[in-house]
A and B are shown apart, each in its own frame.
Chain A
Amino acid sequence: DIQMTQSPSTLSASVGDRVSITCRASQTISHWLAWYQQKPGKAPKLLIYKASSLESGVPSRFSGSGSGTEFTLTISSLQPDDFATYYCQQYNSYPWTFGQGTKVEIK
């Protein structure tokens, strides 16, 4: 199975900050990577697919980059609604696998 590792596990930031989350795959996955946002007690929400494509309706302050084994999710200016846990997911090969999550907390 492909292992997905995110860093950091927790990130403390303030409204307006630019934040980045890294996701590394244990083997190359080309651009087959998605990012999700999850709030407590809620289902995940798709933000980014194919590493850098923004899902419809997702604010443009979210962006994704990378290919191969290293990927980044960037929030250009953190908003109050963005405090949540973020997961990456590879869909290059079965079984699909997720990272362990990055919790974005209020500083």
Chain B
Amino acid sequence: GESVGLHLPTLSVQEGDNSIINCAYSNSASDYFIWYKQESGKGPQFIIDIRSNMDKRQGQRVTVLLNKTVKHLSLQIAATQPGDSAVYFCAETANQGGKLIFGQGTELSVKP
């Protein structure tokens, strides 16, 4: 679950395993969602997006699932690699664009 304050939620996985990162979004009117990856010392990098009229979207090694009933978003990373180690943020927006609201982030650590 989410924690408050200065400590990010963390997920530690073994190289080659699948990772699932969860996000609870706040606005039931949000209709567009994005996952970003942020490596240490860098800006956030776009991974994958999904609109609210979809439940699932797949990219290369990543899948995003959207459950609007419980306002939950997840990012699945297949065959996790050391290069996947980073902080992952979900972001939501309403009205198909405009201001993005970012979640707190989850730190993914991949053990070789």
Do chains A and B stick together as partners? no
A residues within 8 Å of B by Cβ? none
